[in-house]
Amino acid sequence: MSNRGSHLRRLEAQSIEIIREVVAEMSRPVMLYSIGKDSSVMLHLARKAFYPAPPPFPLLHIDTTWKFREMIAFRDRMAAEAGMELLTHTNRQGLAEGINPFDHGSSYYTQVMKTDALKQALSHYGFDAAFGGARRDEEKSRSKERVFSFRTGSHGWDPKNQRPELWSIFNTRVRPGESLRVFPLSNWTELDIWQYIRSENIPIVPLYYAAERPVVERDGMLVMVDDERLPLRPGEVPQRRQVRFRTLGCYPLTAAIDSAATTLDEIVTEMLIARTSERSGRLIDHDEAASMEKKKREGYF
């Protein structure tokens, strides 16, 4: 970041300050690592914040078992490179009950395999602060959230009663069992993220780049056939198409877009002329009008 006073340098510095504040004040922080582009940027910032030491907290990945295979390989490599402990957690009970996005619907599946799993892991390890890579520009209820967002003992968010947050003074006080969700990327936009990845050469999962991949077209979305678990509907035949992803989640719930962008510059160019928002590729966001806020109140990130 040589470009003094530039927008990205300011964003970088603010995020580093936030990350350091958590480590200075909380007794057991963890960084939620979802393997996507925002997580990659957040991890990079954490490494900068504590250089030359590795970040003094573990990474936590909530593994729904439905992530793209490429993501898992990438995750293990990045954690090792950063010299950080990687914790993974799966909701065993949900797995045993065979909860999946097809038979149980994306909403219930998300509740069990993501939200409940996350709450289990946070309680199990006794984390009192968890970093998340969410940005305010992603979604309307996120645009309302504090950088240091208080969570009750049952991990709930009360959007109508948030702590005032002035200047860069953060109230980090919690009682045992309560916790904070902390969002160092609150003020970054999607464009800032890509630009930063480009200028810092941050590695990202190859799924963000266009390549020929097996997909089926379903309800107007392109779903990638990442393994044999995807039940094909009558008449559906996987075809190979040049596609990429703007955002990454569970493969059955994340839509691909037709694209020829195979370099970062091409990705950014495509983004600048895009007509739809990045979250339009997230099937879970469409479930109901206030769905993100509802999930967040229940403990989702």
Partner 1 sequence: MNQALPSLAGQALDHLGDHERKGLLRFLTCGSVDDGKSTLIGRLLHDTKRLFEDQVAALQKDSRKYGTQGEELDFALLVDGLEAEREQGITIDVAYRFFATEARKFIVADTPGHEQYTRNMATGASNSDLAIILIDARKGVLQQTRRHSFIVSLLGIRHVVVAVNKMDLVGYDREVLQRIRAEYEAFSQGFGFETLEVIPMSALTGENVTRRSEAMDWHDGPTLLEHLEAVEVAGEDRLGPFRMPVQWVNRPNLDFRGYAGTIVSGAIRPGDKVAVAASGRVATVARIATMDGDLDEAVAGDAVTITLQEEVDISRGDVLSPPESRPEVSDRLSAHVIWMGDQGLRTDRNYVIKAGKRSTTGVVARIEHGIDVNSLKHLPTSTLALNEIGFCEIHLSAPIAFDPYEVNREMGSFVLIDPLTNQTVGAGLIWASLRKADNIHRQAFDIDRAARARLTGQTPRVLWFTGLSGAGKSTIANLVEQRLHAQGRLTFLLDGDNVRHGLNRDLGFTEADRVENIRRVGEVARLFTEAGVITLVSFISPFRSDRQMARDLFAPGEFVEIHVHAPLDVAETRDPKGLYRKARAGEISNFTGIDSPYEAPEGAELVLDTVVRPAEELADEVIRYLGL
Residues from 98 through 127 that contact partner 1 (CB under 8 A): none
Least Cβ distance, residue 58 to partner 1 (angstroms): 17
Q: What is the residue-wise DSSP string for 246-276?
A: SS-SBGGGBEEEE----SHHHHHHHHHT--S
> Would you count residue 17 as binding partner 1 (CB under 8 A)?
yes
Instruction: Pick between residue 64 and residue 111 the one whose CB is nearest to partner 1.
Output: 111
**69 interacts with partner 1 by CB under 8 A:** no
Answer yes or no whether residue 280 interacts with partner 1 by CB under 8 A: yes
Q: Give the DSSP letter of residue 167.
A: T
Residue 119, H or E segment: helix 117-125
Under rule CB under 8 A, which residues in 246-265 are in contact with partner 1?
258-261, 265
Q: Whose structure tokens read 């091409």?
A: 266
Scanning residues 129 to 158, which ones bind partner 1 (CB under 8 A)? 136-137, 139-144
155: exposed, middle or buried (Cβ count in 10 Å: 0-12, 13-18, 19+) = buried
Q: Which of 174, 188, 185 is nearest to 17 (CA)?
A: 185
One of 36, 40, 43, 47 touching partner 1 (CB under 8 A): 47
Site for partner 1 in 22-41 (CB under 8 A): 23-24
Closest CA to 229 of 129, 100, 71, 93: 100
Please say which residue, 93 or 263, places its beta carbon nearer to partner 1: 263
Count of positions on this chain that bind partner 1 (CB under 8 A): 75
Options 31-39, 68-76, 211-219, 268-276: segment touching partner 1 (CB under 8 A): 268-276
CB of 259 to partner 1, least distance (A): 7
Rounded to an integer, what distance in angstroms lies between the CA atom of residue 19 and that of residue 23?
7
Neighbour-count burial of 7, counting CB atoms closer than 10 A to its CB (0-12 exposed, 13-18 middle, 19+ buried): exposed
Rounded CA-CA distance 33/179 in Å is 18
Residues forming a β-bridge with 217: 222
Task: Closer to partner 1 by CB, 116 or 137: give it.
Answer: 137
Q: Is 165 in the site for partner 1 (CB under 8 A)?
A: yes
219 binds partner 1 (CB under 8 A): no
17, 24 Cβ separation under 8 angstroms: no
Neighbour count for residue 128 (Cβ, 10 Å): 22
Determine the interface stretch with partner 1 among 6-14, 91-99, 116-124, 231-239 (rule: CB under 8 A). Answer: 6-14
**Given candidates 28, 89, 104, 294, which one binds partner 1 under the rule CB under 8 A?**
294
In the complex with partner 1, the residue whose CB is nearer, 175 or 233, is 175
> What minimum distance in Å lies between the beta carbon of 230 and partner 1?
25
Beta-carbon contacts of 109 under 8 Å, excluding residues fewer than 6 positions away, are 64, 99, 100, 101
As measured in angstroms, the least distance from the Cβ of 211 to partner 1 is 14
Chain positions 193 to 212 lying near partner 1, rule: CB under 8 A, are: 195
Instruction: Rule CB under 8 A: say whether 174 interacts with partner 1.
Output: yes
Q: For residues 10 and 124, which CB has a smaller minimum distance to partner 1 in the complex?
A: 10
Cis-peptide, bond into residue 52, ω within 30° of zero: yes
